[in-house]
Structure 1
Amino acid sequence: MNPPSLLQIVERLEGLAGKLPSRIRKAVLSELTPLKQLFLQQRPPRFLFTGSSRIPLTRIIHGLFAPGDSTQTRDLPLRVSRWHNVSLSERGTISILDAREADDSASIQVRDELKFQSADVVFFLEEEQTTPELEKWKVDDLITYLVWNNASAGDAKIIGIITPPTGQPIVSAATEINATRLKSVLRSSPMLREHILEVLSLSLARGAEPVEVLSREAQKLMSILARELPNQARMEMIRISQDVEGQREVAQALIKSTTAICAAIGAQPIPLADLPILTTLQLMMVAGIMYVSGRERSLRAAAEFIGALGANVGAAMLLREGTRVILKFFPGWGNVVCGLMAGTGTYAIGRAASVFFIEGVSLPDARRIYLAGRKVRERPSLPASERIDKAHAKTG
């Protein structure tokens, strides 16, 4: 499922929303916004590096984003004063800009790059020091770059990374003290205080860090990035990090927005010609959940999964239209039921896709979850008042 096909789907949805009542139209368009950000506006996350330049850039990328896969950082230049895309195997791409201890010429170049594209996160790297003082010029540089970055509608956050001298392992107690000290220093600046996300302790030298420490701190970093990045960059970051909590959160956002849109559209008297867009929207939701789990994004594969659940797409659409024809004899209530049917079915499909692709449950279990979700609205009954009115009409 490529961007042009996604654009066509969104354009059709926006056109369909124009036919809805004003209140419903606004709700549909608001739910469409996160879908557009996650899919149409998807881009690599952008990271700006500041602080100590003693650590080679290749080791920074390897240590933060590609542990165990150093082949992806071999072709990096020594210094990157322009935005540079780094492909991380088949997981995704990040964009980096290196401003560490830049001279005047490089600083001007960095400033121009930040005017063109702002960073999502600013990393401040610092080696453990024998003295507690952090050089003032490093903090001043960080403030300068943050101001440049956020001048044009940017709102970057700061993550501090403290690392032992090259080749030395992390000593937990000492490192924790140094990390706390660095966080305190950064937060003491009014210009930085509200932008600090976290200060983490990571060894960026290969082979210098125990596996359990690397795993704990690296996973914490991945979770922070998956949670804090803007929607446009979250999808790529979650694929890179494989952070399960982030996957769940994005999947739930997709399910929520898609369910709300389908329910709103389903409650309206829309001609049959407009109904396939609801099915396409459900397919897009499943394809998005597949993609965030690390798989290929494919409408065809999504359709195969929905079919495996027992939800025949074409038959479901015809059944729904037949139900609409019957329910049109009950104005108001009939439209509500149609909306509930569309929303409930969409949520059941999304929930089944989430537990299958992200939680790793078996297909039979996913099918049971789908069927359980559908049973809630499987047999809508008339309200008591309308049953009485209809009975009176027959006897009259």
Structure 2
Amino acid sequence: MNTENSGSALINSLEELASSLPEPVKRIFMEEIQSMKEIFIEARPPRIMVLGRRGAGKSSLINALLNKKVAEVGSVVSETGKASWHTIGEGDQQIEIIDTRGIGDNSRPESASFDDAVEEIENSIRRKAPDILIFACKSKEVDAHLDKDIQAIQDIRNFVYNKNGYKLPILCVVTQVDELDPKRAQLWDNNTRKVENIKTACGVIKSSFSKLDVPIITVMPVCAYAEYDDSGIVVEEYDERWNIDSLKEEIINNIPKCSQLFQARADQRIDTKKNYSRKLIKTTASTCSAIAATPIPLADIFPITALQIAMVSGIARISGRDFTKENALDFLGAMGVNVGVGFALREAARAAAKFIPGFGNVASGTVAFIGTQAIGEAAILYFIEGASKEEAKQKYEKERSKAEK
């Protein structure tokens, strides 16, 4: 089955349903459908630019983000010469990384087109601009040439804005924080002196960007060190990565919706997929709640059910399966949920409303939220964690029971 075509068919059916809905249900419904469309149908690999001076740990950072060895650590970036985009991974687990020589590097490799590294970078992003720029700075060198680096970043940001019309988000990363004193202290030990030194290093970068009036998302300290086996998989015994998961969350939160799915799937960690799925669940549940709370008799039955089907299809896609209505209906059937789920949730709320005058619409919204969330959590357990349908059904019934309390 063609995933793109089947996914488009699902979105098209939702849009057809929307055309028959009254306002304001139609408006609320279409906002959620547009979001799903951007995430699952218009999806493309995220484009990430990692900049920093030679020795800043750019290759280690890329490997840590992808949870796999894809870049040679210790390679001299300046030898790369001509900056170019590289696609890493397969299918919708791809990510695009731009390979550049270090900023501030005055040497010119034979393959380079320009003497200046920034000019080389700007030339490479004329046709394809990055979604986010990650500036990597070594923890023990945060005060070295920082003003020049920030000016180079600002030049690149201005170039992207003038060429593409959007403001490139900048995420600053302080690398190799494990080397800060006391070096013997492990990062997860929360040693007071080490924590203060990390805060100081981050503060220097934050202050410098602020002084030059260059906006940034945040400054994040990380350790990207890990050893990999011959197949490129992390050797658990020698995995010293720290704060990388938080960095991934920041990246996902600050790239276009059309790139978020690829970023989540490029990371093989289950927790990343679960976190991204829960964002989808939260927005879908909130939308279902808003529709259920709208005082339009029976108008919420079909859009709520349709959104729940799309949500389950989306979680299946995040896990690696096709984004299809069939996958969702098969799962919902196993949960004992049929296409009348929206009706059932609404009726449960109406039963409660009989005992609490004036509470009907609020109750409907609450029950719809909890019911949708229960379906989503069960879908995570089944599609992403690999539990059986019976285990997922137990999860669904346990979560749904909260609506009855």
- Fold shared per TM-score above 0.5: yes
* Alpha-carbon distance, 1:203 to partner: 4.0
Question: Is residue 201 of structure 2 the alignment partner of residue 181 of structure 1?
Answer: yes
Q: Does the 8 Å contact 1:47/1:95 carry over to 2?
A: yes
Unaligned residue ranges in structure 1 (runs of 5+): 165-169, 324-332, 379-396
Paired with 1:340 and 1:55, the residues of 2 have a C-alpha distance of 49
Structure-2 residue corresponding to 1:140: 151
Bigger helix fraction: 1
Paired with 2:306 and 2:227, the residues of 1 have a C-alpha distance of 48
Alignment of structure 1 residues 1-396 onto 2, 5 Å: 2-53=3-54, 61-67=62-68, 78-79=80-81, 81-87=83-89, 92-99=93-100, 100-101=102-103, 103-104=114-115, 107-108=118-119, 110-127=121-138, 132-134=143-145, 136-151=147-162, 152-163=165-176, 170-173=178-181, 177=197, 180-181=200-201, 183-189=203-209, 190-203=212-225, 214-242=240-268, 246-259=272-285, 264=291, 281-313=307-339, 316=340, 346-358=372-384, 363-372=389-398
1:92-121 per-residue CA deviation (whole Å, 9 max, x = no partner) reads 111122343374576445325545443232
Q: Does the 8 Å contact 2:60/2:224 carry over to 1?
A: no
Paired with 2:278 and 2:142, the residues of 1 have a C-alpha distance of 47
**Residue identity in the other structure for 1:200:** V
Paired with 1:66 and 1:246, the residues of 2 have a C-alpha distance of 11
In the superposition, relative to structure 1, how do residues 237 and 307 fare at CA in structure 2: closer, same or farther (>3 Å)? same
Q: Does the 8 Å contact 2:80/2:99 carry over to 1?
A: no
Unaligned residue ranges in structure 2 (runs of 5+): 106-113, 184-193, 230-234, 348-358
Q: Name the SS for the 1:8 alignment partner.
A: helix
Structure-1-length-normalised TM-score: 0.68
1:154-188 per-residue CA deviation (whole Å, 9 max, x = no partner) reads 34122324349xxxxx5352676478436513532
In the superposition, relative to structure 1, how do residues 226 and 9 fare at CA in structure 2: closer, same or farther (>3 Å)? same
Identity %: 22
Q: Does the 8 Å contact 1:114/1:148 carry over to 2?
A: no
Q: Name the SS for the 1:85 alignment partner.
A: strand
Q: Does the 8 Å contact 1:120/1:155 carry over to 2?
A: yes
**Residue identity in the other structure for 2:122:** R
In the superposition, relative to structure 1, how do residues 42 and 199 fare at CA in structure 2: closer, same or farther (>3 Å)? same
Paired with 1:290 and 1:137, the residues of 2 have a C-alpha distance of 46
**Residue identity in the other structure for 2:19:** G
* Alpha-carbon distance, 1:22 to partner: 2.8
Q: Does the 8 Å contact 1:159/1:198 carry over to 2?
A: yes
**Residue identity in the other structure for 1:142:** I
Q: Does the 8 Å contact 2:142/2:204 carry over to 1?
A: no
Q: Name the SS for the 1:215 alignment partner.
A: coil
In the superposition, relative to structure 1, how do residues 109 and 172 fare at CA in structure 2: closer, same or farther (>3 Å)? closer
Q: Name the SS for the 2:247 alignment partner.
A: helix
Paired with 1:358 and 1:229, the residues of 2 have a C-alpha distance of 23
* Alpha-carbon distance, 1:49 to partner: 2.2
Structure-2-length-normalised TM-score: 0.67
Paired with 2:283 and 2:142, the residues of 1 have a C-alpha distance of 52
Query: 153-162 or 258-267: which moved more?
Result: 258-267
Q: Does the 8 Å contact 1:122/1:156 carry over to 2?
A: yes
Q: Name the SS for the 2:84 alignment partner.
A: coil
Paired with 1:124 and 1:268, the residues of 2 have a C-alpha distance of 51
Q: Does the 8 Å contact 1:118/1:154 carry over to 2?
A: no
Aligned residue pair count = 361
Paired with 2:81 and 2:261, the residues of 1 have a C-alpha distance of 27
Paired with 1:358 and 1:121, the residues of 2 have a C-alpha distance of 27
Q: Name the SS for the 2:134 alignment partner.
A: strand
**Residue identity in the other structure for 1:49:** V
1:172-218 per-residue CA deviation (whole Å, 9 max, x = no partner) reads 526764784365135323333544342423348879x9956633243
Query: 256-265 or 184-193: which moved more?
Result: 256-265
Q: Does the 8 Å contact 1:45/1:236 carry over to 2?
A: yes
In the superposition, relative to structure 1, how do residues 57 and 202 fare at CA in structure 2: closer, same or farther (>3 Å)? closer
* Alpha-carbon distance, 1:47 to partner: 0.9
1:3-49 per-residue CA deviation (whole Å, 9 max, x = no partner) reads 33333333333343233333222222222232122212222121112
1:68-113 per-residue CA deviation (whole Å, 9 max, x = no partner) reads 5679xx9x993562333222x6771111223433745764453255
